[in-house]
């Protein structure tokens, strides 16, 4: 009788053990789904900020092509004082307060208000015919100016400067406000107006901390 009773007890316990196994498996599944849902909900929000797209020297005017949009954790914007992408238009025409490498996340303290014209420079507006100026001309761009001049020893006057503003009249051509070295401005008066040509020049390299993925630097 004892053997039969023992077997009977084991048969009665089996459903309870099976139920415990099912309950345990269900609890594991619930925990996994709960963790996945928590991970999705807790994913940090991101914000769009501005980074340097092309190297900028200290004091160089900032143009539209000099900045790019990147994403960072939302909490870093206020913590690091980063410049939101909504302020991109307001940056054009301002200057880099320090040398900036491509990929640098822009902070407010990296931006300054330009003193125009700088000491030793002059600000003036030049009328240029169509085809005689860069189609992508914009504030902050470094350019070279040249034109035929009988007063120049080589017969060609030339200088370099920075674009401050560009106006494109409906009648054609462009009115480009530039900052030029004071010593070269006198020669501009001797240039034949129809020969005056403006060309883009390379941006001077500069360096600070870099964030990968923006601009052409490693």
Least confident residue range of 32-41, 62-71, 116-125, 129-138: 32-41
Name the token pair of 111. 């931006």
What pLDDT shows up at residue 75? Answer: 82
Instruction: Tell me the DSSP string of 114-146.
Output: --SSPTTEEEEEEEE-TTSS-TT--TT-EEEEE
- Give CA–CA dist 57/204, Å, rounded: 6
Mean pLDDT of 124-147: 90
Look at residues 62, 72, 65 and name the one whose alpha carbon lies nearest to residue 98: 62
Structural domain for 6, as ranges: 1-43
Same domain? For 1 and 70 the reply is no
**CA 83 → CA 54, 75, 77, 97, 171, distances in Å?**
16, 13, 7, 14, 38
> Using an 8 Å Cβ cutoff, are 66 and 88 in contact?
no
pLDDT for 8 equals 58
Q: What is the mean pLDDT of residues 172-199?
A: 92
CA 149/CA 188 separation, integer angstroms = 8
Query: What's the confidence (pLDDT) of residue 209?
Result: 33
pLDDT (tens digit, 9 = 90+) per residue, 27-64?
A: 555 556 555 554 555 555 888 899 999 888 777 888 88
User: Do 153 and 174 fall within a single domain?
Assistant: yes
User: Do 189 and 159 belong together in one domain?
Assistant: yes
Please provide the average confidence, as pLDDT, over all residues in the chain: 77
Kindly state the average pLDDT of the residues 89-114.
Answer: 84
What number of other Cβ atoms are within 10 A of residue 104's Cβ?
A: 26
Of 82, 112, 142, the last residue of a domain is 112
CATH number of the domain within which 87 lies: 3.90.1210.10
204: pLDDT strictly greater than 90: no
Q: Is 22 helix (H, G, I), strand (E, B) or coil?
A: helix
Question: Per residue in 69-100, pLDDT tens?
Answer: 999 888 888 888 899 989 888 888 888 887 78
What was the pLDDT predicted at 210? 35
Residues 6+ apart with CB under 8 A from 199: 134, 143, 144, 146
Identify the bridge partners of residue 159 per DSSP, sorted by sequence position. Answer: 145
Q: What is the total count of domains within the chain?
A: 3
pLDDT on residue 169: 92
* For residues 164-176, average pLDDT: 90
Tell me: pLDDT of 145 over 80.
yes
């Amino acid at each position: 009788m004892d053997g039969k009773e023992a077997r009977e007890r084991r048969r009665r316990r089996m459903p309870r053990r099976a139920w415990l196994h099912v309950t345990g498996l269900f609890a594991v599944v619930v925990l996994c789904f709960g963790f996945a849902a928590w991970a999705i909900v807790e994913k940090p929000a991101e914000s769009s900020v501005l980074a340097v797209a092309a190297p900028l020297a200290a004091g160089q005017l900032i143009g539209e092509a000099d900045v790019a949009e990147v994403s960072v954790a939302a909490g870093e914007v206020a913590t690091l004082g980063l410049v939101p992408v909504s302020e991109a238009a307001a940056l054009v025409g301002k200057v880099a307060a320090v040398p900036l490498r491509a990929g640098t996340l822009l902070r407010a303290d990296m931006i300054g208000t330009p003193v125009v014209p700088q000491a030793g420079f002059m600000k003036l507006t030049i009328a240029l015919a169509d085809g005689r100026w860069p189609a992508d001309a914009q504030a902050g761009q470094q350019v070279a100016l040249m034109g035929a001049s009988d007063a120049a020893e080589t017969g060609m006057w030339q200088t370099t400067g920075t674009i401050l503003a560009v106006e494109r009249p409906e009648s054609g051509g462009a009115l480009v406000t530039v900052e030029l070295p004071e010593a070269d401005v006198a020669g501009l008066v001797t240039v034949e107006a129809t020969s005056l040509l403006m060309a883009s020049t390379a941006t001077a390299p500069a360096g600070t901390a870099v964030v990968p993925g923006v601009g052409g630097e490693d």
